[in-house]
């Protein structure tokens, strides 16, 4: 993974806000996608995977997606929906955008996208979303560009309800307050602490973290970095192991200290999609909540990136 890609993923992870709301038994359903642009049938170009997922959550299928990250999960969704895609490349190519003859251009603030913003504005009205903002703020910004403000409000309300519903069920089952560890390896061991996306969501449903995972990150990364010698500080009642794509598991599971973890001895280790868990989108929030319910309440397993098309169909209700 490139330094830029890691930094963007880190900032996305930091951008999720704590969800709260009233409980309900209904599962969140985003707006059903409308093929070929917005409700006004505009031609929409998404400059990256994140912007495309925001548009899809609002019921808008972009007419072109530039894949900046080519995550397994998002690529599978785009392929399932038959969305036209092109590689983003090392730098944004405004000519590729112009060739689509767009009415609206949306993207998150990748450095090369920001650098090309003036050129993009000359092609079509362009909205560049701050990728360090919370998922709901990002969604609202994209909704403003696409005329989908009501859909964004509905998505937020449903996810608030799903979060509160899970929190109530965990409390009733006596699981609230359990110590939940989240660890990964992407060129070094790390954990998303309390102030990051996953940390905020876990706290929002009443789960706690190991003390070592409450440590704030640095200006370079929001993650709590650690070495193999301190792996035991990241034990918990349940351990979620980030996996798939650039997130390796062998370094952690191959550590001499791994087998001594209480979560390992209790068979309470669960692999989860690192790509999705560290994203900041409405879809990723719903995914993490579903994983938590499956593992902590239903005796099931977390979803893999390969299940993204099926998960997304459930999310949109299509």
Q: Which residues contact 150 (CB under 8 A, 6 or more apart)?
A: none
Count of CB atoms within 10 A of residue 82's CB? Answer: 9
Mean per-residue pLDDT for 60-74? 94
Yes or no: say if 49 and 65 are a contact pair by the CB < 8 Å rule.
yes
Q: Which residues contact 299 (CB under 8 A, 6 or more apart)?
A: none
Instruction: Check residues 181 and 34 and name the one with the higher pLDDT.
Output: 181
122 within a domain of the structure (yes/no): yes
121 and 49 in a common domain: yes
Structural domain for 294, as ranges: 160-316
pLDDT band at residue 220 using 50, 70 and 90 as cut-offs: low
How far apart (Å, rounded) are the C-alpha atoms in residues 106 and 117? 10
Do the bridges between strand 64-67 and strand 189-191 make them parallel or antiparallel, or are there none, so unpaired? unpaired
Chosen domain end from 123, 155, 187:
155
Mean per-residue pLDDT for 228-241? 97
Across the chain, mean pLDDT equals 88
pLDDT tens-digit map of 91-100: 999 999 999 9
pLDDT tens-digit map of 252-268: 999 999 999 999 999 99
Q: What is the DSSP letter of 304?
A: P
How many domains are there within the chain?
2
Yes or no: say if 265 and 196 are a contact pair by the CB < 8 Å rule.
no
Yes or no: say if 292 and 262 are a contact pair by the CB < 8 Å rule.
no
Of the candidates 223, 237, 239, which has an alpha carbon nearest to the alpha carbon of residue 189? Answer: 223
298 and 171 in a common domain: yes
Q: What is the DSSP letter of 96?
A: H
pTM for this entry? 0.85
133 and 164 in a common domain: no
Of the candidates 165, 171, 163, 170, which has an alpha carbon nearest to the alpha carbon of residue 298? Answer: 170
Instruction: Check residues 279 and 54 and name the one with the higher pLDDT.
Output: 54
Q: What percentage of the chain exceeds 90 in pLDDT?
A: 76
pLDDT band at residue 132 using 50, 70 and 90 as cut-offs: confident
113 and 43 in a common domain: yes
5 within a domain of the structure (yes/no): no
177 within a domain of the structure (yes/no): yes
């Amino acid at each position: 993974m490139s330094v830029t890609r890691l930094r963007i993923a880190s900032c996305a992870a930091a951008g999720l806000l704590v969800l709260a709301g009233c409980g309900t038994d209904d599962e969140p359903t985003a707006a059903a996608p409308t093929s070929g642009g917005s409700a006004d049938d505009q031609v929409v170009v998404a400059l990256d995977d994140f912007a495309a997922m925001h548009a899809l959550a609002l019921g808008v299928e972009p007419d072109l997606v530039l894949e900046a990250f080519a995550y397994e999960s998002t690529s599978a969704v785009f392929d399932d929906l038959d969305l036209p895609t092109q590689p983003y490349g090392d730098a944004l190519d405004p000519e590729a955008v112009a060739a689509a003859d767009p009415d609206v251009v949306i993207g998150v603030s990748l450095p090369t996208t920001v650098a090309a913003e003036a050129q993009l504005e000359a092609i079509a009205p362009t909205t560049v979303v701050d990728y360090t903002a919370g998922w709901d703020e990002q969604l609202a910004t994209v909704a403003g560009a696409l005329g989908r403000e009501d859909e964004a409000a509905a998505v937020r309300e449903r996810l608030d309800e799903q979060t509160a519903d899970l929190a109530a069920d965990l409390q009733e089952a006596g699981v609230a307050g359990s110590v939940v560890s989240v660890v990964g390896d992407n060129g070094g061991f790390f954990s998303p602490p309390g102030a990051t996306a996953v940390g905020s969501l876990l706290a929002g449903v009443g789960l706690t973290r190991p003390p070592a995972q409450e440590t704030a990150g640095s200006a370079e990364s929001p993650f709590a970095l650690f070495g193999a010698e301190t792996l035991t500080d990241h034990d918990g009642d349940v351990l979620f192991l980030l996996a798939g794509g650039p997130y390796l598991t062998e370094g952690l599971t191959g550590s001499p200290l791994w087998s001594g973890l209480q979560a390992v001895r209790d068979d309470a280790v669960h692999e989860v999609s690192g790509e999705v868990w560290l994203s900041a989108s409405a879809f990723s929030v719903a995914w993490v909540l579903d994983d938590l319910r499956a593992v902590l309440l239903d005796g099931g397993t977390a979803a893999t990136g390969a299940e993204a098309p099926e998960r997304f169909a459930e999310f949109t209700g299509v």
